[in-house]
Structure 1
């Protein structure tokens, strides 16, 4: 929906007494996350596949309960993970490809930000028949921020599924809006959840399994996408072991716990957990560098092709001493860094939902999604373009390098795939091992 239409709807509220609930419903009916703006780059449009979506629940048994300690030891518990899966699907010609997602604003256990249920529209079909015509598709695992949900990046997850990927987004237990808990759980479990879900998808895709995923995905050809704390976990899952400083700080935060030791670069067990099935990483605004989570040794452990996406004014993960420092320090990886000049932290999620405009809802719910210097829909389209190019190269062996190997700024030359003048405000860096 155009901004002029939004202003018109707001005017209706002021002059005719139209309810905010009506406004929210109108926005939901008209605007779908991921739809194209007229100035979207070439690889933003959807692919040729219909998109199905299903919800799965899996259980990671006997994990360290880092939030509780008894007699100096942590008990074990089962981590309940809800997954949303988007996949290529056969959609009948006479059936509209639409879905209603259910989420919440707010955060659990915070009376200043109570949970507010809301719905929003997507362009997928719930429980649609999988399209197995092209064989097993590459797997993409998506990890949200803290706090967040598996539905935070539907503009991207649907888009990738339409291009021939099976995309699995995780609700990380104790890190979602609905079940927010102590931060040590997020620090410890992000990489562990990612690797567990990779194994679960491999099992569900095996021939003979009773899952709809049987034969549909190739877990040997996978990528991780993470935003903020999701980026933190994705980097650790793929070679960036944590620093001694990080291990010490974690212990101070978690009652003297040593549970993070096994994810440190100095741990003999760490390298054995790195999974060769993962071929590439996309890290949106990864958190942790400014807090000492990595040192030079840890960053040097990242060897997979990596696409970093950052705002130059990120005030959560940091830029010069944060995301850019990770990019600079990952000396053994073929890496790119896309920068939104003057953007802050919110360079990955869907635009603010209509429900965040309702009276009585904390402004923090809007700001959790909003990017003050950029149009969120434009960011979404640009992300669709570059993630398509990056994953196309590394998971599908497509000839997309020209879309990534562009001048550092538009002042230095035209960016392939962008309409004239439409790459202004962007920077792209590329470094090889």
Structure 2
């Protein structure tokens, strides 16, 4: 069931108590869908005993960008997504639509020159449309934002977990290279001259955070290889993403300037050790719920924060939140009679208003990326007294930072 324009509030709109930087920027926002092909990739879901075929890995991406639209006359766009899971007969796929504030296929706005690039990676399962409140918001502030549908990891094509374990970081790197190609002088794409790939940030949620941190410099551990190596095409495929691998070290990309990881999965399973975490040197913003029961908090996300000793890093904590600190709020379709409770809970937070979480994420991600990709002096919004929220946090209305903690550590 679709949300109608008359319903008024759209994901990413501001609540009355939204923090200062949650507001949209001065650019109109365009959106386009593009299909990319990563040829010759290892098909770890169709093989055995070290013998795996290759396949052309198709990735659908959604791209939000500054557009030649008057920002205060921004039209609405209808996004098409899916509830359910392709591999679970108890949760059949159910298409639904929801609205955003962007213009489909709008003409790009070249007034800002080549814009910084932000690559967004969803959870398992998820979709490229899981964080539209944030992707639209960033585009309105002068970023080109590309969100990936990770093949075999979306609601509609969900398949075995080994594909996600291996391909998340590979997909991120490929999309960065493709956006660099499409934005080049010889390109006939609408992206030509619109993107500065040398000024890129990664945003990942859950398994997206698992991949993004790896691309950013945190190589996987020997324990991760021992646990997952045979599931991902034999030891050599995942080994190339481990900290000890020369191949991994050669893959690190200086075009990436910062990383935002929402509830990144893996630390409780030993995916990283002290050596891998200490190799993360990029500025990092981690966002977590203190009751995360998927990625873990004390031994999970907070342990990543404590172990990344060579990174200028922040940890934003939603006290009493669980794992869903990144996505859009539950869609209307998940609340209708007959809908799966699990589909609603895939988005919902039991102790927090999801629209408020969205506004707070918009605020802090704007500050963090503004510092590291645009050179804007937003430090007062991040270098907060704490870690517990107190009256007087810059950008927050009185009494409205309760329930938040912010930690900051430097190398």
Fold shared, TM-score > 0.5 on shorter chain: yes
* Aligned CA-pair RMSD: 1.6
Deviations 1:285-340 (A, max 9, x none): 00000011000001011000000000000000000000000000000100000000
Pick one of 115, 119, 124 that aligns with 1:146.
124
After the TM superposition, which of the residue ranges 322-331 and 246-255 deviates more from structure 2? 246-255
- Give 2:151's aligned residue: 173
- Partner residue, 2:272: 294
Q: CA deviation at 1:284?
A: 0.3
Answering whether residue 54 of structure 2 is matched by residue 76 of structure 1, we say yes
Moved over 4 A (4+): 92-96, 254-257, 409-413
Aligned to 1:402: 380
1:309 and 2:291 matched: no
Residues 1:330 and 1:277: Cα distance change in structure 2 (over 3 Å): same
1:230 aligns with 2:208: yes
For the 8 Å contact 2:41–2:55, the answer to whether it is kept is: yes
Counterpart selection for 2:343 from 365, 370, 381 = 365
When structure 1 is superposed on structure 2, of 351-360 and 87-96 the one drifting more is: 87-96
1:119 aligns with 2:103: no
Deviation at 1:54, TM superposition (A): 0.3
Structure 1 length-normalised TM: 0.92
Distance 1:38 1:92 in 2: 23
- Check the 8 A contact 2:288/2:301 in 1, yes or no: yes
Equivalences for 1:53-72 in 2 at 5 Å? 53-70=31-48, 72=50
Structure 2 vs 1, CA of residues 43 and 255 (structure 1 numbering), >3 Å: closer, same or farther?
closer
**Any idea what SS the aligned residue of 1:54 has?**
strand
Unaligned runs of 5+ in 1: 1-20
Structure 1 counterpart of 2:197: 219
Aligned to 2:11: 33
Q: Between Structure 1 and Structure 2, how many residues are aligned? A: 411
Is contact 1:284-1:348 (8 Å) kept?
Answer: yes
* Pair 388,96 (structure 1): closer, same or farther in 2 beyond 3 Å: closer
Structure 1 counterpart SS, 2:133: helix
**Which residue in 1 is equivalent to 2:404?**
426
Greater CA drift, 265-274 or 393-402: 265-274
Per the TM alignment, residue 412 of structure 1 is displaced from its structure 2 partner at its CA by: 4.9
What CA deviation, in whole Å up to 9, does each residue of 1:29-80 have, x standing for no partner? 4331000000000000000000000000000010111112256311111110
Secondary structure class of the residue paired with 1:281: strand
Following superposition, the deviation at residue 96 of structure 1 comes to 4.9
Conservation of the 8 A alpha-carbon contact between 2:293 and 2:322: yes
The 3-state SS of whatever aligns with 1:133 is helix
Q: 1:281 aligns with which of 254, 259, 276?
A: 259
2:186 corresponding residue in structure 1: 208
Output the CA distance in 1 between the equivalents of 2:208 and 2:72.
Answer: 38
Residue pair 1:306, 1:335 contacting (<8 A) in 2 also: yes
Return the match for 2:109 from 131, 135, 140: 131
Shift of 1:134: 1.5
Q: Secondary structure at the match of 2:240?
A: helix
Match of 1:163? 141
